[in-house]
Chain A
Amino acid sequence: EVQLVESGGGLVQPGGSLRLSCAASGFIFSNYAMSWVRQAPGKGLEWVSGISGSGGSTHYADVVKGRFTISRDNSKNTVNLQMNSLGGEDTAKYFCVKEEDILLPAAVPFHHWGQGTLITVSS
């Protein structure tokens, strides 16, 4: 059974940094790309970033490019999201999602989502 468990959420001041992690299990981690999708309170879904199975290819939404960095550790089955220069617009629940291919974009969309971790940017 695929399991995705996010951690690292919490309250951070504007301009601050935070690092999210997602622990994956139930599948051969290095064979699949991974993405992060966020959802502001009461709002819709927004794709944030994705990384290929090897970690050699990364993709970002324009609104986070240059501030967020996605990485993965295939020896530990984890994917991370380093978030810098955070602003109120980054307040959201961040979901870790499993892609259905080793590369992005995948032919099949997200089947598996974590429960999410909440980031609140506020002074």
Chain B
Amino acid sequence: DIVLTQSPDSLAVSLGERATINCKSSQSVLYGPNNKNYLAWYQQKPGQPPKLLLYWSSTRESGVPDRFSGSGSGADFTLTISSLQAEDVAVYYCHQNYATPYSFGQGTKLEI
């Protein structure tokens, strides 16, 4: 089974500053036939279901602000918020859809 480990567990960033969250996979999630990394990022606010931000490591979901970006390949990935806004306070999860059982990182709580 694929284990995803996020770092840090929590993060405090000032408004307008950059936030960086890392996700390390226990094995590569790069799908050879299409050269895509099956690694996604979700944002979850209290009382709400998770919201998809990015998939294939760096493809932004429709409607997601461009201050959110993703990078990485193979087994190491990063979510970057370039200029933190107040509405970005949430818990962020990485997720692999490369193989079942699907898995999620443990979450990173982002605060101001």
A and B held together in a complex: yes
Over the window 81-100 of chain A, the binary record of Cβ atoms lying under 8 Å from chain B Cβ atoms (1 yes, 0 no) is 00000000000000100000
In the complex, which residues 48-62 of chain A have their Cβ closer than 8 Å to any Cβ of chain B?
Answer: 50, 59-62
Over the window 65-82 of chain A, the binary record of Cβ atoms lying under 8 Å from chain B Cβ atoms (1 yes, 0 no) is 000000000000000000
In the complex, which residues 51-72 of chain B have their Cβ closer than 8 Å to any Cβ of chain A?
Answer: 52, 55-56, 61
CB contact under 8 A between A45 and B104, given known A107-B38, A109-B52, A115-B49: yes
Report B7 CB to chain A, min CB distance, Å. Answer: 14
CB contact under 8 A between A105 and B100, given known A44-B93, A44-B107: yes
The reply to whether B104 and A109 contact each other, CB–CB distance below 8 Å, is no
In the complex, which residues 72-106 of chain B have their Cβ closer than 8 Å to any Cβ of chain A?
Answer: 93, 95, 97-106
The reply to whether B99 and A113 contact each other, CB–CB distance below 8 Å, is no
Cβ of B106: which chain A residues have Cβ within 8 Å of it? 44
Size class of the B contact interface (CB-based, 8 Å): 20 to 34
Over the window 34-62 of chain B, the binary record of Cβ atoms lying under 8 Å from chain A Cβ atoms (1 yes, 0 no) is 10101010101000011010011000010
The reply to whether B102 and A105 contact each other, CB–CB distance below 8 Å, is yes
The reply to whether B49 and A116 contact each other, CB–CB distance below 8 Å, is yes
The reply to whether B102 and A113 contact each other, CB–CB distance below 8 Å, is no
Q: Which residue on B lies nearest to A50, using beta carbons?
A: B100
Query: When chains A and B are docked, how far (Å) is the Cα of A113 from the Cα of B52?
Result: 10
The reply to whether A109 and B34 contact each other, CB–CB distance below 8 Å, is no
Q: Which residue on B lies nearest to A57, using beta carbons?
A: B100
Q: Which residue on B lies nearest to A60, using beta carbons?
A: B101
Measuring CB to CB, which residues of chain B are less than 8 angstroms from any residue of chain A? 1, 31, 34, 36, 38, 40, 42, 44, 49-50, 52, 55-56, 61, 93, 95, 97-107
14 further A-B pairs in the complex, CB-CB below 8 A; given A106-B97, A109-B55: A44-B93, A44-B106, A45-B93, A45-B95, A45-B107, A47-B101, A50-B102, A59-B101, A62-B1, A104-B100, A107-B36, A110-B95, A111-B61, A114-B49
